[in-house]
Structure 1
Amino acid sequence: MTKPSLIPAMPVTSPFDARRQARSLYWRGWGVSQIAEELDLKRPTVESWKQRDKWDDAPSIAKLEDCLEVRFMALVMKESKTGGDFKEIDLLGRQIATLARVRRYEAPGGHEGDLNENIGKRNAGPRKKPKRNHFTADQAVELRRIFEAGLFDYQRTWLANHDQRTRMILKSRQIGATYYFAFEALIDAVETGRNQIFLSASKAQAHQFRSYIVAFAKLVGVDLAGDPMLITSELVGETEPAAELHFLGTNYRTAQGRHGNFYFDEFFWVHGFEELNKVASGMAMHKKWRKTYFSTPSTIAHDAHPYWTGERRNRKRKKADRVEIDVSAAALKHGVLGADRIWRHVVTIEDAEAGGCDLFDIDELRDEYAADEFANLLMCEFVDDSLSAFRFNDLVACGCDSLVDWVDFQPYADRPFGNAQVWAGYDPQESMDGDNAALVIAAPPALPGGTFRVLERHQLRGLDFEQQAEFIRAVLSRYNCTYIGIDATGVGAAVWQLVSKWFPRAVRIDYSIEVKAQMIMKAQNIITRGRIAFDASWVDLIGSFVAIKKTLTASGRSVTFKAGRGAVTSHADLAWATMHILLNEPLDGKAKPTGTMEII
């Protein structure tokens, strides 16, 4: 007998599946009229769905499963998760597994052992330990069912084209791409036994894939471990070798002898794309392997841009052999296999919403983001950094793999940097409903002319000056901070005054054309010489610097530097906060003498 689905099959009546959403709301206690008003539907339509699909007759377990699925999907789609989020994901996974046992018990042939697995162990002799990282056939089937039940339309497009030899996807931020491709790769490993390789700018970024995969496996009762991770499955057979899952950052060279499907995350933001891509392509040279590149856009100066446009293929080819690729968002809205055998797809935030993703309020985002920032982050438009005060490629070259390269920094420890000194920079929030504030913590060079290491960066929003000062105090209490520079413009004056009460050496920075020019000049010198390092996955910090552009003052008589205001880069709050730190080093690169002060 076919196992019943958690959610009865229903036709999709609109891009966001209004029928399914209406049923879910009804099972959560909403009235028909309320549902019709919430989803902008006619009441008779909702009433008709209710009668035809027999919502009132659905078993209680189906309603519980629907509620769990809604909450689970909301959590896994979050870009940045807290410890509490991961605990709740784990709890929901156990609840889903429990309901699955109830389903088996209620099905024909079900028995008490389906509810309590310990019953079958009574008087049993020694048994073999369960295989590590192993999926049974039933678990594999259930994993795919859960996966497909939660997809948006654009993710279904990716799934329908998962066998394309090369996929290149340009996407809006926070639409669930990393989540999707982690799940896709796990299912491919379980069902085919093929190796999967995840390539990112840093180990921390690559491990986001691993975190998702471990959570997905728990949904069907499998605890995955290991790095690389070895997975076996009944669907593949015991005679086949285990599928290997590799999670690679800057240590990609160690996997040059490996082979498998590979996923290149945020490839438009990595340094040395040409070299990385040679290694990655070598991993998937056999025709059975698949290559997937996906990223938000950066600038047209990035090494990967010619690959996207097809210009890289046309180099050194005769005119007759060249191809023309239309890479506009309109042309690639539904995905197109180009003449260069690359399947390209563009998913803007508007496309995501049309495809069922209801996680955004686009009108609100348009108000929060500067127009150019909205176009870049959410509408998949590349940035021309020719007018920027900082060159994108110089900034990307400063990225590193902090978890691998900085052995003296433990980000999750009570004292992440021990008793070694750090400097801090703070760019305040101008108003409660205005831009973001930013706090940056960096380790100054150990020797003159050495490298600044950016250890932490934080963005704040919606805090008054007292709350901002208290946040600074809480973060700095974990470090031996010897300097903090604060922009004292507007609200910043109040923040500086409060901070200086418990940190008398807090430096007040009063912005002027001359001060801005000095900060920019110092930062340009440090960045172009590679004297600053930060985790390569921090694309928000890179974007913040690129957002600063040269412009004329209102009088038109002199040059200044500005960035519009937006919600993520604020526009450039992280960059200004970082420059407050760099300003503490004299132009000749010789550090000023400092003392120490304990912050409690």
Structure 2
Amino acid sequence: MAKRYSDDIKALARTLFIKRVTVPDIARETGVPRRTLYDWIEKDGWHDLVKTDDIEEAYNRRILTILNSKDTLSPAQLNEIERLQTLLAKHQKIQGRIAAVTLPGDPDPIQMQAHHLQTSLPLDADHQAAVKAQHNAEVTGGRKKKRQKNDFSGISRDEILEKLKSKLFPYQWAEFQKLLNDPDNEKFRRRFYLKSRQIGWTFYCSAEAFALALLEGRNKAFLSASKNQSRLFKRYILAFAMEWFGVEVKGGDEVTIHTDHGPVTFWFLSTNSSTSQGPSGDVYLDEVFWIRDFEKLNKLAGAIASHKHYRKTYFSTPSVKSHDAYFLWSGEEYQKVQEKRPHLPTFEMPTKKQLQLGHAANDGMYRKVITIHDAMSGGCNLFKLSDLEIENVPDVFRQLYECEFIDDQNSAFNLNQLLGCAANDDRWHGFKPGAARPYGNRPVAIGYDPSRTRDWAEVVVLAIPTTAGGRFTLLERISMKNENWQFQAQSIKELCDHYNVVFIGIDCTGPGNGVFEQVQNFYPSATPIHYSVDAKTRLVLKAQAVISKDRIRWSADYVDIPMAFMAIRRQATGSGISYVAARDSKIGHADVAWAIMHALQVEDLTADTPNDKKTTVIISEAA
């Protein structure tokens, strides 16, 4: 049985290697076998760290090598970057350089990306930008003139605009200039952006808010579904402050900076923040089409931005037209008000061309649609369109990148019920991430969905309810891409070493069979699930029952989980109804949803209590 070593042991071994300690000596010092050390050295590229006598240059080079290696980083790579940044910050402190921009006790963008990384949809452009922005800030900050913490006084308007423009794509800069040309806030007091994924709009809004705070001296509030998501705005702003002006910003969820206009406060709030009604300033609300209780959130935003000189900015990728936010986007909410107040102008929804250019309608809302094509034509060079078209079937591509709403008439799940399963606080009772036994000896179930041609393999760990009708809880999630069967099976084995696993459900259709055979070597009672009409029906019916009864929880940071379930649709067959999620050779969409459904098979379809002895699923073997 392979032994698992802690991150601290691995970090110590890496540090000794950087100091040119020999492998035999490192093995004696750490107790790690030479074979394992050589594997770490080769796999993680430790040689890159000792090719130069400049330690700081070595750290920076390795960090940038990892960041540029691929679009989405693995948890191991994220952990290595975090360790390297910590070592770099300590080295800079020793040399009298600046401290890192992270705040004590607060997660940095690396940790935040690790939390959002496990997704079957490519949602990481904003997070990757945050990581790179923070790293650049740490690299260049030491060469800037030292200023007092949180002090931005004496910075000229031209310098602010120059720094901002250098970080934006042309289409983003053009959008910012509209605000500069509307000093009285006549057109842009309320803005609503319907956007493609991965175009960096959270990055843009963070940069816009920071620059405007310095230029106008107005407070800013950021509202998100979860605390981690709202803190992503914070990480961007802290990185901008250090990179642009060499200013270290201190503060928690309420940060006050000093400008030529006086003090300006940033609030980073989630939907359940007890302080949400206190702030006053411009408001930014992100991913509103994926937020539960949008009406409640919108009322909070209205209270914060009541004054006429404050703006409200909504932005999101589309979900379904039945979501509460759609009534605001479509103008239906205004029309209801106008019916009772005939003196108000009749609403006219902007045309498709007007939405593409951005249009202030007669309901006082400025609307703009930004598809992937609009972003690319506006200078965004983050995409290779042909790859995305190969990876996504047409209807999925249109929803993800061309801002089309999901047709939920045939969806197997209800969006509002799914959003109700998302918890703002994922500090589950009795769960201690990073511990040798994160969940003690409490029982858990594992679900695995295999990777296909271009998609992700997903592994989930669900805490099993111990009382009748109790809740399942998503404790851990692993996403893997381009990894062989042995690696994927080993990942499941490591979970078995750390949890009291009483059930493993594995999709054995096609590529999953290899992983299943590997898992059987260390967990003989693993349950094979052979996909068929009957099997998929059973999976979906069980998930529907659990979700509709509010019997499962996952972190609100996993915004892709509701998306994955919504992608599963009913489809008529010759013998009845089946369920599909565009699972063909080009896409394995909804992987995390299927993985969760596999784990839920630990419980019988009609059962209200867990069945720890359950090891088989009775299903049809039909293709």
Work out whether the TM-score is over 0.5: yes
| Secondary structure in 1 matching 2:267 | strand
* Inter-partner Cα distance in structure 2 for 1:308 and 1:566: 33
Q: Distance in 2 between matches of 1:79 and 1:294?
A: 23
1:283 aligns with 2:310: no
Matches within 5 A, 1:488-567: 488-553=508-573, 556-565=574-583
Distance 1:532 1:484 in 2: 18
Question: Which residue pairs with 1:270 in the alignment?
Answer: 291
Q: Is the 8 A contact 1:395 1:527 kept in 2?
A: yes
**Residue 593 (1) aligns with residue 612 (2):** yes
Whether 2:502 is the aligned partner of 1:482: answer: yes
Residue deviations 1:550-573 (CA, integer Å, cap 9, x gap): 1123xx122211110389983221
How many residues in Structure 1 have an aligned counterpart in Structure 2?
491
Would you say the 8 A contact 1:79–1:174 is kept in 2?
Answer: no
**Residue aligning to 1:31:** none
Q: How does 1:113-512 map to 2 (within 5 A)?
A: 131-138=148-155, 142-162=159-179, 163=185, 164-219=188-243, 220-236=245-261, 240=262, 242-318=263-339, 321=344, 323-327=346-350, 329-403=352-426, 406-411=428-433, 415-430=437-452, 433-512=453-532
CA deviation after TM superposition for structure 1 residue 333, in Å = 1.1
Report the CA distance shift for 1:199/1:566 in structure 2 as closer, same or farther (over 3 A).
Answer: farther
Q: Give the superposition deviation at 1:444.
A: 1.5
Q: Is the 8 A contact 1:190 1:232 kept in 2?
A: no
Instruction: Quote the Cα distance in structure 2 between the aligned partners of 1:435 and 1:267.
Output: 27
Q: What amino acid is aligned across from residue 166 of structure 2 in structure 1? A: A
CA distance in 2, matches of 1:131, 1:355: 37
Alpha-carbon distance between aligned partners in 2 of 1:375 and 1:279, rounded to the nearest angstrom? 32
Alignment deviations for residues 338-391 of structure 1 (CA, whole Å, 9 cap, x no partner): 111111111101111101111101111011002111101110000121111111
Between structure 1 and structure 2, the one with the greater Rg is 1
1:20 corresponds in structure 2 to: none
Which secondary structure does the structure 2 equivalent of 1:591 belong to? Answer: coil
Q: Which amino acid aligns with 1:593?
A: D
Distance change (3 Å), C-alpha of 1:454 and 1:178 = same
Give the deviation of 1:189 after TM superposition. 2.5
Q: Which stretch has the larger CA shift, 159-168 or 193-202? A: 159-168
In structure 2, give the amino acid aligned to 1:574.
V
Q: How far apart, in 1, do the equivalents of 2:357 and 2:290 lie?
A: 24
**Structure 1 residues 526-555: Cα deviation after superposition (integer angstroms, max 9, x where no partner):** 1111111112232211111111111123xx
Which position in structure 2 is the counterpart of 1:581? 599
Alpha-carbon distance in structure 2 between the residues aligned to 1:140 and 1:422 = 56
Q: Deviations over 1:71-115 (max 9, x none)?
A: 89x98x9787935667465553244345656xxxxxxxxxxxxxx
Opposite residue 397 of structure 1, the aligned amino acid is G
Q: Which residue of 1 aligns with 2:16?
A: none
TM superposition score normalised by structure 1: 0.75
Q: Give the counterpart letter for 2:572 in structure 1.
A: L
Deviation at 1:422, TM superposition (A): 2.1
- 1:184 is displaced (CA, Å) by 1.6
Query: 1:436–1:567: 8 Å Cα contact kept in structure 2?
Result: no
What's the CA shift string for 1:453-504, capped at 9, x where partnerless?
A: 1123333222232232123334554433322110111121111110121122
Q: Which SS does the other structure have where 2:565 is aligned? A: helix
Q: Distance in 2 between matches of 1:505 and 1:143?
A: 62
Checking the alignment, whether the CA contact within 8 Å between 1:271 and 1:393 is kept in structure 2 is: yes
With over 3 angstroms needed to count, the CA separation of the structure-2 counterparts of 1:274 and 1:475, relative to structure 1, is same
Label 1:529 to 1:246 Cα distance change in 2 as closer, same or farther (>3 A): same
Alpha-carbon distance in structure 2 between the residues aligned to 1:278 and 1:286: 14
**SS at the partner of 1:137?**
coil
Tell me the distance in 1 between the aligned counterparts of 2:601 and 2:567.
19
Contiguous gaps of at least 5 residues in structure 1: 1-67, 102-116, 118-129, 596-600
**CA distance in 2 between partners of 1:79 and 1:308 (Å):** 31
The 1:218/1:154 distance shift into structure 2, 3 A limit, reads same
Aligned mates of 1:391, 1:573 — CA distance in 2: 18
Cα offset, 1:447, TM superposition: 1.5
Q: CA contact under 8 A between 1:314 and 1:322: conserved in structure 2?
A: no
One-letter amino acid matched to 2:370: V
Deviation string, structure 1 residues 204-235 (Cα, Å, up to 9, x no partner): 11111111112112212222222233333341
CA-atom RMSD, angstroms? Answer: 3.0
Question: Could you say if the C-alpha distance between residues 474 and 216 of structure 1 is closer, same or farther in structure 2, counting changes exceeding 3 Å?
Answer: farther
Structure 1 residues 223 and 280, CA, compared in 2 at 3 Å: closer, same or farther? same
Q: Is 1:310–1:323's contact at 8 Å kept on the other side of the alignment? A: no
Q: Which residue of 2 aligns with 1:111?
A: none
Check 1:568–1:249 CA distance in 2 against 1; reply closer, same or farther (3 A cut): farther
Contact 1:550/1:559, CA 8 A, preserved across alignment: yes
Shift of 1:317: 2.8
Judged with a 3 Å threshold, the aligned counterparts in structure 2 of structure 1 residues 329 and 83 are, in CA distance, closer, same or farther, namely farther
Q: Is the 8 A contact 1:370 1:571 kept in 2?
A: no
Q: Distance in 2 between matches of 1:199 and 1:474?
A: 37
Secondary structure of the residue aligned to 2:467 is coil
TM superposition shift of 1:143: 4.9
Amino acid paired to 1:401: N
Matched-pair identity in %:
36
Q: CA deviation at 1:161?
A: 3.4
Q: 2:140 aligns to what?
A: 96
- Post-superposition offset of 1:415: 4.7
Q: Secondary structure at the match of 1:189?
A: helix
Do 2:144 and 2:246's aligned partners in 1 also have CA atoms closer than 8 Å?
A: no
Distance 1:520 1:234, change over 3 A: closer
Distance 1:326 1:153, change over 3 A: farther
Q: Which amino acid aligns with 2:163?
A: I
Distance 2:544 2:260 in 1: 56
In structure 1, distance between residues paired with 2:476 and 2:583: 22
* Structure 2 counterpart SS, 1:254: coil
Asked if the contact 2:142–2:246 (Cα under 8 Å) also holds between the matched residues in 1, the reply is: no
